[in-house]
């Protein structure tokens, strides 16, 4: 009986996906990979690229870095969705994800986006080509960490920190102190907001045995840890300014970043689902956008 029910469900999912037009399929695919959240990591990568180039990079480098970003993030999100396919179906917050595209389509695009990332990295310079498999392994590894460690939030941060460090290497073909400091800031920033976001899944994660610091420490202590991580984020962004020799405009802009992070934590303490989602997107989008704008003003104007 369970097998028949499962087959009927799978058939319903396939027919639902197949009945949608091309535009609808594209829209659903973008929802699956949370394309709107690209605004979080992309500004840090482009900011690092502009600082490394001490101005505008070449059109070729810019386009290749953009391709790497799109392919890498798409591959990472698809890998995450495939690894968590059955888990997401049991989580009320994510129960509809598997209806967006079929599993076979997700698998095909995972291979295509991974190959596209490696190919784009190979076209930049030798070091980016050599590090491309390492970068892919890093961003894929996050998706399995929740099975064996509570520190999964930091691995997500590490996955996003690949972007600014990679962009710097794309321009300079070397690793310097500035992108390492910025990458550390990104790790703390992402781990902090992921802790806040994970409070929504506290009951489900405990029931399913999913590892996270929220499950381990509880909601209140996790929110305090998130505050500490975002304080470290602010300090790291200031440190990046010193390492990259940025000017006064950049440091003034960091006050806006501090205000955005403060707003996010004020909202998180209310434990309101809609409020957390709104603050999560608005505050973190503002943090990355202000960082990018400050770098552009410093290096391009």
pLDDT tens digits for range 161-178: 999 999 999 999 999 999
The model's pLDDT over 84-109, given as tens digits with 9 standing for 90+, comes to 877 767 766 655 555 566 788 889 98
Give helix 152-172 / helix 38-53 axis angle, nearest 10°.
30
How buried is 96 (Cβ within 10 angstroms: 0-12 exposed, 13-18 middle, 19+ buried)? exposed
Residue 217: enclosing H or E segment and its boundaries?
helix 213-217
Q: Which domains does the chain have, with CATH numbers?
A: 24-300 (1.10.357.140)
What is the structure's pLDDT at 233? Answer: 98
Q: What is the pTM of this model?
A: 0.84
Both structure tokens of 210: 């999913």
Taking 70 as the pLDDT cut, the residues of the chain under it are 1-39, 88, 91-101, 270-280
3-state secondary structure of 34: coil
**Which pair of structure tokens corresponds to residue 133?**
């498999």
Check residue 9 and give its pLDDT. 45
| Closest by CA position to 121, among listed 136, 108, 109 | 136
Which of 237, 300, 301, 288 shows the shortest CA–CA distance to 57?
Answer: 300
């Amino acid at each position: 009986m369970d097998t028949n029910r499962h087959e009927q469900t799978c058939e319903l999912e396939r027919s639902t996906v197949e009945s949608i037009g091309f535009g609808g399929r594209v829209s659903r695919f973008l929802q699956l990979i949370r394309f709107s959240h690209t605004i979080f990591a992309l500004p840090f990568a482009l900011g690092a690229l502009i600082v490394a180039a001490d101005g505008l990079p070449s059109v070729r480098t810019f386009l290749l870095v953009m391709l790497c970003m799109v392919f890498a993030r798409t591959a990472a999100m698809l890998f995450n969705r495939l690894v968590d396919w059955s888990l997401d179906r049991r989580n009320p917050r994510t129960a509809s994800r598997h209806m967006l595209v079929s599993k076979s389509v997700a698998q095909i695009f995972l291979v295509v986006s991974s190959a596209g990332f490696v190919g784009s990295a190979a076209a930049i310079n030798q070091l980016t080509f050599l590090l491309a498999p390492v970068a892919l392994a890093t961003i894929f590894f996050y998706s399995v960490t929740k099975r064996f460690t509570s520190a999964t939030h930091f691995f997500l941060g590490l996955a996003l920190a690949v972007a600014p460090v990679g962009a710097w290497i794309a321009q300079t073909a070397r690793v310097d102190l500035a992108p390492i400091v910025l990458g550390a800031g990104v790790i703390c920033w992402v781990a902090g907001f992921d802790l806040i976001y994970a409070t929504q899944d506290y009951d489900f994660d405990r029931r399913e045995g999913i590892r996270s610091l929220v499950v381990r420490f509880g909601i209140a202590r996790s929110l305090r840890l998130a505050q500490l991580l975002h304080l470290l984020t602010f300090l790291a962004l200031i440190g990046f300014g010193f390492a990259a020799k940025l000017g006064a405009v950049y440091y003034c802009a960091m006050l806006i970043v501090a205000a955005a992070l403060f707003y996010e934590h004020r909202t998180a303490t209310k434990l309101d689902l809609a409020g957390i989602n709104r603050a999560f997107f608005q505050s973190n989008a503002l943090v990355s956008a202000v960082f990018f704008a400050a770098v552009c003003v410093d290096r391009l104007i």
